[in-house]
Amino acid sequence: MSLVYKTPKILAHVSALDQGNFVTPEYILNKGENIDINLFRRYCPHRLYPLEEIGSVVDGITCKFHNFKWDKNGDPINNPKKIKCGQSTVSQSGLIYKDYDEPNTYWSQCLSAEKNLQYSHSVVGSSLGSWLWLMEAEADLLHLYLGGIHPFLARQINLEEIELDQGDGWILQIHPNGWWLYIFPYVFVEYSPGCLMVNYVTPKDEDCEFGYDWICQFYYDPTVSVDKRYIFETLVEVFKQDIETTEKQKGPYFPSATAMNKYEYHCVHFGEWYRKNKKM
């Protein structure tokens, strides 16, 4: 499966760069002048060894395979290899996108009001399952029932209180404690006041739906309590439960044509996006 256009990604929130360059699965992000973001390859162009650990904040950059080094601006120190590979800008919300123009929406307005977020940590993992099934699971509210695959989350959320919104290539699910945002096909963002999780998958091969890496980045306002952080970070376990569920589903993804009820409206919206953007 491949797509007909460049797929949008969220790389991080700009606060991750407050103390230095921020390392993501594909790129090392460098805060340039005029809030521009320089993108450096995370894999050394010499022999494709990974540069720095995902989720770390670094000043200089080192390839530990042959001890090649670059300064914080990506300029080579002891080798001729260049690692600059692009640029991005900081959006209204503070999110750093690649190949995406952020709409002026409720979610961007919420995040633009968060002035004190600080990067906390990242959790990473891999799956051999389908990232398309995972995307539908993230869009699916119907599976948040008591006694289902999310026992803890189901006790926290009342489905009747969730408001649904959607647009071109995205869905938003608003609940009393915050919201869940999905930008098709790889990006998930979870928010409550003072708390942000940026979560995205990176396919092993964009022409194949099976096999991907994932990352969950956590950001907090320093005034957020330890108890609230603990509850917010249970979202990683919820995400893992979705991954485990999709790994059990049989066969390749196929889109839903109709919804069983209103809680599957966003699944249908994703299915329509998939049919429109799949390269035949």
CATH code, domain with 224: 3.90.380.10
Q: Are residues 144 and 87 in the same domain?
A: no
Residue 222 lies in a domain: yes
Q: Which of 79, 101, 123 is the last residue of a domain?
A: 101
The pLDDT score that the predictor gives to residue 142 is: 80
Distance CA 52, CA 43 (A): 9
Q: Where is average pLDDT lowest: 30-39, 108-117, 130-139, 142-151? A: 142-151
First to last CA, the chain: 8
The pLDDT score that the predictor gives to residue 164 is: 94
**154 in helix, strand or coil?**
helix
Distance CA 272, CA 268 (A): 6
Residue 58 lies in a domain: yes
Average pLDDT over all residues of the chain: 91
The pLDDT score that the predictor gives to residue 151 is: 66
Count CB atoms within 10 A of the CB of residue 234. 12
Residue 263 lies in a domain: yes
* pLDDT tens for each residue of 9-49: 899 999 999 999 999 999 999 997 766 899 999 999 999 99
What does the pLDDT average to over 117-141?
A: 94
Residue 117 lies in a domain: yes
The pLDDT score that the predictor gives to residue 146 is: 58
Q: Are residues 93 and 110 in the same domain?
A: no
**195 in helix, strand or coil?**
strand
Q: Which of 101, 123, 149 is the last residue of a domain?
A: 101
Cβ(255)–Cβ(272) under 8 Å? yes
Domain count, the chain: 2
Q: Are residues 136 and 259 in the same domain?
A: yes
The most confident of the ranges 4-18, 70-84, 152-166 is 70-84
Q: Are residues 110 and 76 in the same domain?
A: no
Q: For residue 239, count CB atoms less than 10 angstroms from its CB and return exposed for 0-12, middle for 13-18, buried for 19 or more.
A: buried
Q: Are residues 182 and 134 in the same domain?
A: yes
Cβ(71)–Cβ(122) under 8 Å? no
Cβ(130)–Cβ(209) under 8 Å? yes
Distance CA 249, CA 129 (A): 9
pLDDT band at 152 (very low <50, low <70, confident <90, very high): low
The most confident of the ranges 22-36, 185-199, 228-242 is 185-199
What does the pLDDT average to over 130-146?
A: 86
**HEC states along 213-270?**
EEEEEEEECCCCCHHHHHHHHCHHHHHHHHHHHHHHCCCCCCCCCCCCCHHHHHHHHH
What does the pLDDT average to over 173-185?
A: 93
Q: Are residues 90 and 113 in the same domain?
A: no
Residue 95 lies in a domain: yes
- DSSP bridge partners of 205: none
What does the pLDDT average to over 151-167?
A: 79
Cβ(158)–Cβ(272) under 8 Å? no
Distance CA 203, CA 253 (A): 15
**Boundaries of domain holding 35:** 11-101
Distance CA 215, CA 231 (A): 18
Q: Are residues 147 and 79 in the same domain?
A: no
Q: Are residues 172 and 258 in the same domain?
A: yes
Residue 1 lies in a domain: no
pLDDT band at 2 (very low <50, low <70, confident <90, very high): low
Report which residue type is found at 145: Y
Both tokens of residue 124? 């990473």
Q: Are residues 81 and 167 in the same domain?
A: no
Q: Are residues 97 and 112 in the same domain?
A: no
Q: Which of 83, 101, 119 is the last residue of a domain?
A: 101
Q: Where is average pLDDT lowest: 46-55, 144-153, 255-264? A: 144-153
CATH code, domain with 33: 2.102.10.10
Strands 187-192 and 36-41: unpaired
The pLDDT score that the predictor gives to residue 4 is: 62
The answer, yes or no, to whether residue 241 has pLDDT greater than 70, is yes
Residue 46 lies in a domain: yes
Distance CA 111, CA 106 (A): 9
Q: Are residues 161 and 55 in the same domain?
A: no
The answer, yes or no, to whether residue 180 has pLDDT greater than 70, is yes
Q: Are residues 40 and 58 in the same domain?
A: yes
The pLDDT score that the predictor gives to residue 155 is: 67
Distance CA 35, CA 15 (A): 12
Residue 236 lies in a domain: yes
DSSP 35: G
